[in-house]
């Protein structure tokens, strides 16, 4: 089959911030006969991937795996824990936070949306103040996107937890880690998160099609009394059968083969090494952007995303025209600006299966594109990134074959 964006030779560079490039090892793992999902072999697979996901979420509690896009796991988090008319507090960090908010409204929840400028993370102080002004505990949940994929801004989840605790408020804390899990340090238990939402196709290095909830004991208790209608997304049916490695309906068996392989890759590299690798590639990318004389969308250095960088276009220049030039000439896809950032920014994904030379090639494609598209910039971004990478590089571990 011809790929959609095909050049005569070489690989397409999929440098959008998800879906990300799927490693050959994962593709090969998926390419096996589908087995009986009620047979003994499947039970072992199910137990292995559920245990592995607990390690990635850093939780001793329950993890649920759905055959769905990340959006399904958003819905699961809400419908399992909340009742019609419940108040939830959400932070407007960008496009994905806005989509989650719209979903909550459609489900019949009352959303208070804390305004944001799409250049900052959720504001823990503002969340704390709002909760302190809710002595009747009408707010049932606080929902935050950890890594806002539309902007390249990371919210400080532990600080949000602290603000909730300082206000002495019992609201559940729900966090979207769809583009951070497996790329950024994340600790479901230690950070006191009640429901963590994630997906397969970004830091987890899989194709789209799996999503996850990690669930605290408090969230499970909320599920006992929550009255939003749910059937497909019901945690209880999953949890009744998951301990034996099985699912209440047909799981995405082949994606689970891929998940087992991706987990093995993450654990072999070591999660801390994976996080450090993403930090380093984020820093190298930002050095390139600054050398070009372009502006990073994320306003505060302590909130820079290690997974992607959103770059602002100079006034009067089109991000989409630049992206088209890069695709047409260099066979690379960059992320587009979403909703109100449309045509104003482009996004460089540097997450997932990624190394120094992948980054150098990616940044070369951007720099050549800037030149070809006539975008005002200074040359030397790739050089700045290479200098930093060379200065900070370490010997690669032996490649698994």
In the complex, minimum distance from the CB of residue 199 to ligand PLP, in angstroms, rounded to a whole number:
5
Site string for ligand PLP, 106-145 (x = CB under 6 A): ---------------------------------------x
Task: Say whether 161 counts as a known binding-site residue.
Answer: no
Stretch binding ligand PLP (CB under 6 A), from 67-75, 245-253, 337-345, 390-398: 67-75
Among 12, 35, 54, 69, binds ligand PLP (CB under 6 A): 69
Stretch binding ligand PLP (CB under 6 A), from 54-62, 68-76, 237-245, 383-391: 68-76
Give 56 or 291: the residue with its C-beta nearer to ligand PLP: 56
Give 233 or 246: the residue with its C-beta nearer to ligand PLP: 233
Distances (CA, A) of 10 to 13, 66, 360: 9, 34, 16
What is the Cα–Cα distance from 80 to 181, expressed in whole angstroms?
22
Q: Pairing between strand 153-154 and 172-176?
A: unpaired
Stretch binding ligand PLP (CB under 6 A), from 41-49, 69-77, 235-243, 269-277: 69-77
DSSP codes joined into one string, 90-153: EE--SHHHHHHHHHHHHTT-EEEEE---SSS---HHHHHHHHHT-TT--EEEEEEESEETTTTE
In the complex, minimum distance from the CB of residue 104 to ligand PLP, in angstroms, rounded to a whole number:
13
**Contact positions with ligand PLP (CB under 6 A) in 163-222:** 176, 178-179, 199, 208
**Contact positions with ligand PLP (CB under 6 A) in 86-105:** 96
Give 145 or 206: the residue with its C-beta nearer to ligand PLP: 145
In the complex, minimum distance from the CB of residue 208 to ligand PLP, in angstroms, rounded to a whole number:
6
Give 43 or 208: the residue with its C-beta nearer to ligand PLP: 208
- CA dihedral 267→35→26→263, nearest 10 degrees, is -10
306 touches ligand PLP by CB under 6 A: no
In the complex, minimum distance from the CB of residue 242 to ligand PLP, in angstroms, rounded to a whole number:
22
Task: Say if CB 66 and CB 73 are below 8 A apart.
Answer: yes
What is the Cα–Cα distance from 360 to 356, expressed in whole angstroms?
6
In the complex, minimum distance from the CB of residue 68 to ligand PLP, in angstroms, rounded to a whole number:
8
Task: Say if CB 184 and CB 308 are below 8 A apart.
Answer: no
282 touches ligand PLP by CB under 6 A: no
Give 70 or 124: the residue with its C-beta nearer to ligand PLP: 70
Counting other chains too, the contacts that 5-11 makes at CB distance below 8 Å and 24 or more residues apart are 5/327, 5/331, 5/333, 7/331, 10/331, 11/331
Give the SS3 label for residue 218.
Answer: helix
Number of residues that bind ligand PLP (CB under 6 A): 12
Among 13, 15, 16, 18, binds ligand PLP (CB under 6 A): 18
Number of H helices, E strands in the chain: 13, 14
What is the Cα–Cα distance from 359 to 280, expressed in whole angstroms?
11
In the complex, minimum distance from the CB of residue 224 to ligand PLP, in angstroms, rounded to a whole number:
27
Q: Which residue has the tokens 């950024």?
A: 184
Length of the chain in residues, anyone? 401
Give 183 or 364: the residue with its C-beta nearer to ligand PLP: 183
DSSP codes joined into one string, 38-92: TSHHHHHHHHHHHHHHHHHHT-SSEEEEESS-HHHHHHHHHHHH--TT-EEEEE-
Give 70 or 337: the residue with its C-beta nearer to ligand PLP: 70
70 touches ligand PLP by CB under 6 A: yes
Contact residues toward ligand PLP (CB under 6 A) are 18, 69-71, 96, 145, 149, 176, 178-179, 199, 208
As annotated, the binding site for substrate includes 347
As annotated, the binding site includes 347
């Amino acid at each position: 089959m011809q790929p959609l964006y095909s050049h005569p030779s070489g690989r397409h560079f999929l440098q959008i911030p998800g879906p990300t490039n799927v490693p050959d090892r994962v593709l090969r793992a998926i390419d096996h006969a589908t087995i009986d999902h009620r047979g003994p072999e499947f039970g072992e697979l199910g137990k292995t991937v559920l245990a592995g996901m607990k390690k990635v979420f850093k939780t001793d509690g329950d993890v649920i795996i759905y055959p769905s896009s990340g959006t399904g796991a958003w819905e699961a988090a809400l419908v399992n824990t909340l009742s019609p008319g419940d108040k939830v507090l959400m932070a407007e960090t960008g496009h994905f936070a806005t989509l989650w908010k719209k979903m909550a409204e459609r489900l019949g929840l009352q959303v208070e949306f804390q305004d944001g400028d799409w250049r900052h993370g959720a504001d823990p102080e503002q969340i704390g103040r709002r909760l302190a002004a809710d002595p009747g505990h009408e707010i049932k949940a606080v929902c935050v996107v950890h890594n806002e994929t539309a902007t390249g801004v990371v919210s400080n989840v532990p600080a949000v937890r602290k603000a909730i605790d300082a206000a002495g408020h019992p609201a559940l804390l729900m966090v979207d880690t769809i583009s951070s899990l497996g790329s950024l340090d994340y600790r479901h238990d230690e950070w006191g998160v009640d429901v963590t939402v994630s997906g397969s196709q970004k830091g987890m290095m899989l194709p789209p099609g799996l999503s996850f909830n990690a669930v605290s004991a408090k969230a499970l208790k909320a599920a006992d009394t929550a009255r939003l209608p749910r059937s497909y997304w019901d945690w209880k049916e999953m949890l009744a059968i998951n301990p034996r490695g099985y699912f209440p309906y047909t799981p995405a068996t082949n994606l689970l083969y891929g998940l087992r392989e991706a987990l093995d890759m993450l654990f072999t590299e070591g999660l801390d090494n994976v996080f450090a690798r993403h930090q380093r590639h984020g820093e190298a990318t930002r050095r390139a952007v600054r050398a070009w004389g372009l502006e990073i969308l994320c306003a505060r250095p302590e909130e820079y995303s290690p997974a992607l960088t959103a770059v602002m276009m100079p006034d009067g220049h089109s991000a989409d025209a630049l992206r088209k030039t890069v695709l047409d000439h260099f066979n690379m896809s960059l992320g587009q600006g979403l909703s109100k950032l449309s045509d104003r920014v482009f996004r460089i994904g540097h997450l997932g299966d990624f190394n120094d030379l992948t980054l150098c090639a990616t940044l070369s494609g951007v720099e050549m594109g800037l030149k070809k598209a006539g975008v005002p910039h200074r040359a030397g971004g790739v050089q700045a990134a290479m200098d930093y990478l060379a200065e900070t590089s370490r010997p690669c571990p032996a490649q698994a074959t």
